[in-house]
Structure 1
Amino acid sequence: MRTVAFHWSGGKDSALALTALLDDPDVVVDRLVTTVHREGGTSTVHEIPDDLLQAQADSIGLPLQIVAIPGPGLDGYVEAMDAAATRMRREGIDAFAFGDLSASGVLDHKREQFQPLGIDVLEPLWGLSSGECVERFLASGIRAVTVVVDAAVLGPQALGLPLDRAFFAGLPAGADPCGELGEFHSFSHDGPLFRRPVDFELTAPRRFEQEIGTTDGARTFAYWLSTPRARR
Structure 2
Amino acid sequence: ALLDEQARAIGVPLEKVYLPSGEPGGCTNDVYEAIMSRVMAHYKARGVETVAFGDLFLEDLRAWREANLAKAGMRGIFPIWKRNTTKVAHEVIQLGYKAYLSCVEPKVGSGFVGRLYDEEFLQVLPSEIDPCGENGEFHSFVFDGPIFKRAVSVRVGEIVTRDGRYYADLLPNDSVEKCTAELIPPV
Are 1:179 and 2:133 counterparts?
A: yes
Aligned residues: 169
Match of 2:82 in 1: 127
Are 1:53 and 2:42 counterparts?
A: no
Match of 1:137 in 2: 92
Report matched runs for 1:50-89 at 5 Å: 51-72=1-22, 73-75=26-28, 76-89=31-44
Match of 1:169 in 2: 123
How far did 1:161 drift? 1.4
Aligned to 2:15, the other structure's residue is in SS state: strand
Report matched runs for 1:149-168 at 5 Å: 149-155=104-110, 157-168=111-122
Q: Name which of 121, 138, 150 aligns with 1:196.
A: 150
4+ runs deviating over 4 angstroms: none
Contact persistence 2:114–2:167 (CA under 8 A): no
Contact persistence 2:114–2:159 (CA under 8 A): no
- What stretches of structure 1 of length at least 5 have no aligned partner? 1-50, 210-221
Q: Name which of 35, 46, 69 aligns with 1:91.
A: 46
Letter of the aligned partner of 1:228 in structure 2?
L
Percent sequence identity over aligned pairs: 28
Letter of the aligned partner of 2:51 in structure 1?
F
How far did 1:74 drift? 4.0
Which deviations, in whole Å up to 9, do the C-alpha atoms of 1:146-172 show, x marking residues without a partner?
A: 1111123211x2122111111011011
Larger Rg, first or second structure (1 or 2): 2
CA-atom RMSD in angstroms: 1.5
Aligned to 1:125, the other structure's residue is in SS state: coil
CA distance in 1, matches of 2:101, 2:17: 24
Letter of the aligned partner of 1:225 in structure 2?
Y
Letter of the aligned partner of 1:53 in structure 2?
L
Match of 1:27 in 2: none
CA distance in 2, matches of 1:154, 1:65: 33
TM-score by length of 2: 0.84
CA distance in 2, matches of 1:82, 1:92: 15
CA 1:177/1:78 → structure 2, altered by over 3 Å: closer, same or farther? same
Deviates more, 1:177-186 or 1:83-92: 177-186
Match of 2:185 in 1: none
Letter of the aligned partner of 2:15 in structure 1?
Q
Letter of the aligned partner of 1:124 in structure 2?
P
Deviates more, 1:56-65 or 1:135-144: 135-144
Match of 2:71 in 1: 116
Letter of the aligned partner of 2:103 in structure 1?
V
Aligned to 1:145, the other structure's residue is in SS state: strand
Which deviations, in whole Å up to 9, do the C-alpha atoms of 1:186-229 show, x marking residues without a partner?
A: 110011111001012222111111xxxxxxxxxxxx21001212
Letter of the aligned partner of 2:107 in structure 1?
A
Contact persistence 1:154–1:183 (CA under 8 A): no
Letter of the aligned partner of 1:186 in structure 2?
S
Letter of the aligned partner of 1:81 in structure 2?
M
Contact persistence 2:100–2:142 (CA under 8 A): yes
